[in-house]
Amino acid sequence: MSICLAVLVSGRGSNMKAILEARAQGRLDASISVVLSNNPDAPALEIARQYGVPAVAVSHKGLTREQHEKKVLEELGKYKIDFVVLAGYMRILTSQFLNAFRHPSGYFRVINIHPSILPAFPGASGYEDAFAYGVRISGVTVHLVDEQVDHGPILAQACFVREDDDTLESFRARGLELEHRLYPSVLQSIALQGINLLPQALKPAVITAGDTSH
């Protein structure tokens, strides 16, 4: 089954590029309906256009989180989207946004990649924090998004060894290279088999305020 994706970015867009490249090479059975950025200057937007994908900016400047999310939802509402794919999207999503993508099974159809083995080192500087801590093994996580930052049911993880002579730069480069392989392959597995979670993964992750169905 082919899936329709919207990719949300804020900056460089190397993960987005890996996804678009996988699609162009026939390794990902998905259509990318739109690439959207909260940052009009994101280099990712230009890259998306080079791949022939509609790329739009919805700036958050001067807007409350809710106002901005509404504008993003309006834009995404123009397409029939199976999954929202976060690729370096530096905005925290509220229930208002997530509920627009709620699957009947309870999870949100929003996917993120994070540069650590979650639940270790959530936050905006996963590589820096893991490196500074002195981890011997680190990695990357692809997960479904919930209301907490860098949290939610885990879809896939991949790890790498920190070498004795690693600098932060080489550590990050090894991780990023792993991200670029993992993200498209997880999306392809979703296209082929749907969402595949371990049995316990949904329980703690999707209980929302006021939701008594769990």
Look up tokens 């990050």; give the residue. 172
Question: Which of 3, 6, 8, 13 is the binder for ligand GRF (CB under 6 A)?
Answer: 13
Q: How far apart are CA 138 and CA 159, in angstroms?
A: 5
Cβ proximity of 107 and 99 under 8 Å: no
Q: Which is nearer to ligand GRF, 107 or 121 (CB)?
A: 121
Closest to 187 measured CA to CA, from 11, 14, 19, 17: 19
Q: How far apart are CA 40 and CA 18, in angstroms?
A: 21
Q: Which is nearer to ligand GRF, 25 or 212 (CB)?
A: 25
- Angle between helix 14-24 and 43-50 (nearest 10): 10
Assigned token pair, 190:
């979703």
- Annotated active-site residue in 114, 143, 151, 180: 114
How far apart are CB 24 and ligand GRF at their closest, in Å? 17
Q: Applying CB under 6 A, does 152 fall inside the site for ligand GRF?
A: no
Closest to 13 measured CA to CA, from 79, 89, 117: 89
Kindly indicate which of the ranges 14-22, 72-80, 91-99, 157-165 contains the residues binding ligand GRF, using the contact rule CB under 6 A: 14-22
Question: Which of 15, 37, 38, 138 is the binder for ligand GRF (CB under 6 A)?
Answer: 15
Q: Which is nearer to ligand GRF, 12 or 60 (CB)?
A: 12
Q: Applying CB under 6 A, does 153 fall inside the site for ligand GRF?
A: no
Backbone angles phi, psi at 26, to 5 degrees: 80, 15
Q: Which residue is nearest to ligand GRF (CB)?
A: 88
Active site residue 143: no
Catalytic residues: 114
The binding site for ligand GRF (CB under 6 A) comprises 11-16, 87-88, 113-115, 176, 179
